[in-house]
Chain A
Amino acid sequence: MSGKERLVAAGFAASIVGAALFVVAYATGNSRLLEGLSLAFAAACLSAALTGWFAWILPDDQVVDEYETWSESSRHAQDVNLHVGTREIARSGVLLRLFAVACGCFGVAALVPLRSLGPELGTSLFSTKWRRGSRVVRADGTLVRKDDLNVNSFETVFPEGAAGDARSQTMLIRLPEDADGSAAGYIAYSKVCTHAGCPVALYRAQARQLLCPCHQSVFDVADNGRVVSGPADHALPRLPIEIAPGGYLRARGDFPEPIGPGFWERA
Chain B
Amino acid sequence: MIQRVLDAIDERLGTAHFVSHALRKAFPDHWSFMLGEINVYAFLVLVATGTFLALFFEPSAAKMTYAGPYTLLDGASVSQAYASALDLSFVVNGGLFVRQVHHWAALLFIAGIALHMGRIFFTGAFRKPRELNWVVGLSLLAFALLAGFSGYSLPDDLLSGTGLRIFDSVVLSIPFAGAWLSSLLLDGSFPSDRMIPRLFVAHVYLIPAVIAALIGLHVAMVWRQKHTQFRTPGRSERHVVGSPLFPNYTVKSLALMFAVVAVTFALGALVQINPVWLWGPYDPSKVISPAQPDWYIGWVEGALRMGPPFALHLWGHTIPSPFWPAVLLPSLIFAVLFAWPWIEARVSGDRARHELLDRPRDNPLRTAVGVAMVVFATGLTLAASDDVQARYAHVPVTALTRLYQMFCIFAPPAAFVLTWLLANDLRSRSGSGKAPRVRLRRNAQGGFDEEALP
The answer to whether B172 and A46 have CB atoms under 8 Å apart is no
Q: Mark B367-403, 1 if CB is under 8 A from A, else 0.
A: 0000000000000000000110000000001100100
Pick from A71-79, A89-97, A198-206, A246-254 the stretch touching chain B. A198-206
Complex CA gap A58/B246 in Å reads 11
Q: Check if B145 is an interface residue, CB within 8 A of chain A.
A: no
**Contact present for A44 and B262 (CB under 8 Å):** yes
How many contacting A-B pairs (Cβ < 8 A)? 260
Which one of A139, A201, A214, A264 lies within 8 Å of B319 (CB-CB)? Answer: A264
Evaluate whether A46 and B179 lie within 8 angstroms (CB atoms) in the complex, with A196-B166, A231-B304, A232-B309 already known.
Answer: no
Q: Determine how close the nearest CB of chain A comes to the CB of B291; give it in whole angstroms.
A: 6
Q: How far is the CA of A265 from the CA of B96 in the complex (A)?
A: 45
- Which of A114-122, A129-137, A174-182 binds B? A114-122
Please report which residues of chain A, range 221-243, place their CB below 8 angstroms from some CB of chain B when the two chains form the complex. 227, 229-234
User: Could you say which of B189, B268, B286 contacts A167, with CB atoms under 8 Å apart?
Assistant: B189
Where the two chains meet, the residues of B that have a C-beta atom closer than 8 Å to any C-beta of A are 24-26, 92-97, 100-101, 162, 165-166, 168-170, 172-180, 182-191, 225-226, 237-244, 247-248, 251-252, 254-259, 261-263, 265-266, 268-270, 283-291, 304-311, 313, 316-322, 325, 353, 355, 386-387, 397-398, 401
Residues of B within 8 A of A191 (CB): 285
Nearest chain B CB to A18 CB, angstrom units: 10
A-B contacts, 28 listed (Cβ < 8 Å): A30-B92, A37-B269, A40-B262, A40-B266, A47-B258, A60-B248, A61-B248, A62-B241, A62-B243, A63-B25, A65-B241, A67-B226, A117-B187, A118-B187, A124-B188, A169-B284, A195-B304, A195-B322, A197-B165, A199-B287, A213-B291, A215-B305, A216-B305, A227-B309, A231-B306, A233-B311, A262-B318, A264-B176
Contact check, A47 vs B256: say whether CB atoms are below 8 A apart: yes
Chain A residues positioned under 8 Å from B353 (CB to CB):
69
What does DSSP make chain A's interface, helix, strand, loop or mixed? loop
Q: How far is the CA of A163 from the CA of B309 in the complex (A)?
A: 31
Q: Which residues of A contact B259 (CB under 8 A)?
A: 43-44, 47
Contacts of B183 in A (CB 8 A): 118-121, 124
Q: Is the CB of B94 within 8 A of A30?
A: yes
The residues in A between 50 and 68 inclusive whose CB is less than 8 angstroms from any CB of B are: 50-51, 53-54, 58, 60-68
Q: Is the CB of A231 within 8 A of B239?
A: no
Residues of A with C-beta under 8 A to B266: 36-37, 40, 44
